[in-house]
Amino acid sequence: MERRKYLFKGRVQGVGFRFRCFSIANELKLTGFVKNEYDGSVSMEVQGEVMQIERMIEKLYQQPFIEIEQIHYHLLNIKEHEKSFEIRY
């Protein structure tokens, strides 16, 4: 199990990106959150099995209207009691 913080740049705001993150995370039983940043990027903290996290990222690249130009992540400490994935505002 890992927890990763991602930063996505490109056409990721105003195209349903956060909702797709939410839907895919729930489908894959991942926890965490996603939110828009003021600079037009989107940040996401996601926690779960590594293969499921990587599957989520693959699915995000396949979404229509979304164009991820840059993606960066780093590892975070696990949040033991986290139970869900949410969209933050």
User: How far is the C-alpha of 17 from the C-alpha of 35, rounded, in Å?
Assistant: 10
User: How far is the C-alpha of 1 from the C-alpha of 19, rounded, in Å?
Assistant: 23
60: left (phi over 0), alpha (psi -120 to 50) or beta: alpha
- Residues that are catalytic: 18, 36
